[in-house]
Amino acid sequence: MIENLISRVKTIAGAFNSNGDAVASTEKSLVFSFGDPEPALSNRMTDYLGTFLDIGGDYYRPPVDLTGLANLMNANAYHGPILHFKKDRIVQWFIPSALLSSDELAKAALDYFVLSNAYFQKFTDRFGNVLRLARLPGIAMRAGKTPDVFFKLNIDGTKVEFKPGEVLHIKEHDVKQGVYGVPQYFGGIQSVLLSEDATLFRRKYYVNGAHMGYILVTTDANLDDATAKKIEDQVKQAKGPGNFRSLYLNIPRSNNKEPVQIIPVGNIGSKDEFQAIKEIAEMDMLAMHRVYPGLVAIMPANIGGFGDLQKSMEVYYELEVTAMQRVFLGINEQLGRTAVAFREPDWKKQSNAA
């Protein structure tokens, strides 16, 4: 209980023994730390590994960790939802065709925005005419050493080799190599991880149960056990179970002029930069994905808000959505026929009609 903890504190401090009697103090300084530093990164998802042939020599390895990019979607509250937001904008104005359904495009679009690579398998008739396109999982696809040949890596370690020209590949351009695409947000991964680390640190702080809210110190030599017990009960009732723990300490022999002191030790809100870190990471993610905060459900910090969201959507459509659509319209060029088409937003139709 608290009495035992107080006794230990007194003994460790060197001011009193376990009976409360004064003992000689030491003049030596004591310095200690808690735990060892932990690495900020537990994997190599932020490394650009380059493109080279796999040990088997059949296909090229991606220059970045695709599984790491997929896991990164769950790192914080904004990165993954923003990627889904961009995917939804592609599907929103898509016109389904006999060659490509909305569902297949949605899955391929998410692959593209997460991995910057998307793949479709072409199903043809006996004359070589394309009948339909089916999305292939981007995280499992590999570009073969032979041009226009692709492999799919299965979970059991086997691989499927596709016929030359059977797979259609769209990707983000990378200036370092031309085999795979690399996400534009790759340079912002550190900000995503920093936001995750800050949140995990905060959660561990609250969950570990070792923190204290404050130390209540009295310097009353005449304090009896009954009064001390009442004070202890009041301290315990100050906050509910599972919240900050507080310590009561009475020192009967003290030169302190104040008979009662409250020493806050658990107020991390004023000790760390949690809010600043989260705000900076949030702005970094908005910048690296080039989206407007009001469009992705971020609450405004000012009274005026983010202005007219309809105008923001129109600007976002002109600057970003049309550019994203051009990537998928490139499928038509590779096929030699129309598989992908997009309709105009309602506000553009109204503007053209006027």
In contact, 63 and 182? CB cutoff 8 Å: yes
Comparing 29-43, 170-184, 206-220, 245-259, which segment has the lowest mean pLDDT? Answer: 29-43
Distance linking the first and last C-alpha atoms of the chain = 79
pLDDT more than 90, % of the chain: 46
pLDDT at 206 over 50: yes
The DSSP bridge pattern shows strands 245-250 and 212-218 to be parallel
Q: What pLDDT does residue 154 have?
A: 95
Q: How confident is the model at residue 308 (pLDDT cuts 50, 70, 90)?
A: confident
Domain count, the chain: 1
- Does some domain include residue 229? yes
Task: Check residues 277 and 159 and name the one with the higher pLDDT.
Answer: 159
pLDDT at 113 over 60: yes
- Does some domain include residue 350? no
Length of the chain: 354
Which tens digits make up the pLDDT trace of 244-270? 566 666 766 666 666 677 666 655 554
pTM of the model: 0.74
39-74 exposure pattern, b = at least 16 Cβ within 10 A, e = fewer: eeeeeebbeeeebeeeeeeebbbbbbbbebbbebbe
Name the residue with tokens 């030169």.
255
- Does some domain include residue 36? no
The pLDDT of 46-53, averaged and rounded, is: 86
Q: Tell me the chain's radius of gyration from C-alpha atoms.
A: 31
Nearest in space to 340 (alpha carbons), one of 115, 148, 135? 135
Which tens digits make up the pLDDT trace of 282-307? 889 899 999 988 888 777 666 666 77
Q: How confident is the model at residue 11 (pLDDT cuts 50, 70, 90)?
A: very low
The pLDDT of 7-35, averaged and rounded, is: 45
What does DSSP assign to residue 268?
Answer: G
- Does some domain include residue 218? yes
In contact, 228 and 220? CB cutoff 8 Å: no
pLDDT at 195 over 50: yes
The DSSP bridge pattern shows strands 150-153 and 159-161 to be antiparallel
pLDDT at 83 over 80: yes
Distance CA(267)–CA(214), nearest Å, equals 8
- 298's CB contacts (< 8 A; 6+ apart) are 78, 282, 286
Residue 291 CB-density burial (10 A; 0-12 exposed, 13-18 middle, 19+ buried): buried
Alpha helices in 138-218 (DSSP H): 189-207
- Does some domain include residue 69? no
Comparing 64-68, 188-192, 215-219, which segment has the lowest mean pLDDT? Answer: 215-219
98-124 exposure pattern, b = at least 16 Cβ within 10 A, e = fewer: ebbbeebbbbbbbbbbbbbbbbbbbee
- Does some domain include residue 292? no
Nearest in space to 105 (alpha carbons), one of 288, 258, 331? 331
Q: What pLDDT does residue 270 have?
A: 46
By residue range, what is the domain housing residue 248?
A: 1-19+212-265
Which tens digits make up the pLDDT trace of 155-177? 998 999 999 999 999 999 999 99
Phi, psi of 163 (to 5 degrees): -70, 155
- Does some domain include residue 278? no
In contact, 171 and 181? CB cutoff 8 Å: yes
Name the residue with tokens 């202890």.
232
Distance CA(122)–CA(133), nearest Å, equals 5
Q: What pLDDT does residue 107 have?
A: 98
Distance CA(339)–CA(350), nearest Å, equals 26
Q: How confident is the model at residue 226 (pLDDT cuts 50, 70, 90)?
A: confident
Task: Check residues 114 and 37 and name the one with the higher pLDDT.
Answer: 114
Task: Check residues 207 and 173 and name the one with the higher pLDDT.
Answer: 173
- Does some domain include residue 11? yes
